[in-house]
A and B are shown apart, each in its own frame.
Chain A
Amino acid sequence: MVEGLTNRLRELRAERDLTQAALAEAVGVSRKTINTVENGVFTPSVHLALKIARALGCPVEAVFSLDPKDTTT
């Protein structure tokens, strides 16, 4: 994951009672991709990030955000 970037994917997915496989199916990627995004191993493209946010029914900023400690502009 890019340093200073955090995500709430696991939390948001759990709130919606979605499995990784179900979210992967909705977005059109492998389950491993969702897993690595959740664990911060893989940083998705803007395109994929927007698709994930749409599948979760929330704005992309609710899923991905900058670390509050990162004050660079």
Chain B
Amino acid sequence: MNANDIEKAERMARGRAAIMALAAVVLVINLVLQYGNPAYVSADVRGASWLVVIGLWLFILWNGGGLRLKGNMRALLNDELSLQNRARALSAGFYVAVLGALLLYALEWWIAVGAGDALKLVSAGALAAALLRYAWLEWR
């Protein structure tokens, strides 16, 4: 490990945080655009794409990404501070998921929300919150 590695890891960590923030925004925009449209929750490729997108970002959030990087660079990118930031981000996502589910439960008393849309709201809300929280913690 040398000074260049430290600098490179710092740039990559900032880039990763920026990509995560962007992903969160795209996720929310997608959700808004697709809300109420049965085509996006049907049992076909379009409906399944949601599973892939959420699964992919959850995986990246869980392991930090950069799987193709060398061991020392991955260690720098996922050092103690980064791991703590990810843990805090996942914790934020968990609270948003539970609160979102409670909100939807109450909302159902007045407005009909389809199961597919409700699950997308909860999963996207939780993931977007976790991604944004991580980006913010990494940037500050």
The interface of chain A, by Cβ under 8 A from chain B, is 21-22, 24-25, 28-33, 36, 41-42, 44-45, 48
Q: Measured between C-beta atoms, what is the minimum distance from B87 to chain A in Å?
A: 12
* Cβ contact of B3, chosen from A21, A29, A32, A36, cutoff 8 A: A21
Main SS at interface, chain B: helix
B26 within 8 A of A: no
Stretch at the interface among B4-12, B53-61, B102-110: B4-12
How long is the Cα–Cα vector from A17 to B140 in the complex, in angstroms?
A: 26
* Cβ contact of B6, chosen from A30, A36, A44, A48, cutoff 8 A: A30
* Cβ contact of A22, chosen from B3, B77, B140, cutoff 8 A: B3
User: 11 A–B contact pairs at CB < 8 A?
Assistant: A30-B10, A30-B79, A30-B82, A31-B6, A31-B10, A32-B10, A32-B138, A33-B79, A42-B81, A45-B80, A48-B80
How long is the Cα–Cα vector from A29 to B6 in the complex, in angstroms?
A: 8
How long is the Cα–Cα vector from A31 to B6 in the complex, in angstroms?
A: 7
Are the C-beta atoms of A24 and B6 separated by less than 8 Å?
yes
Would A42 and B84 be within 8 Å (CB), given that A28-B76, A30-B76 are in contact? yes
Q: Which of A24, A30, A36 has the most CB of B within 10 A?
A: A30
Are the C-beta atoms of A29 and B80 separated by less than 8 Å?
yes
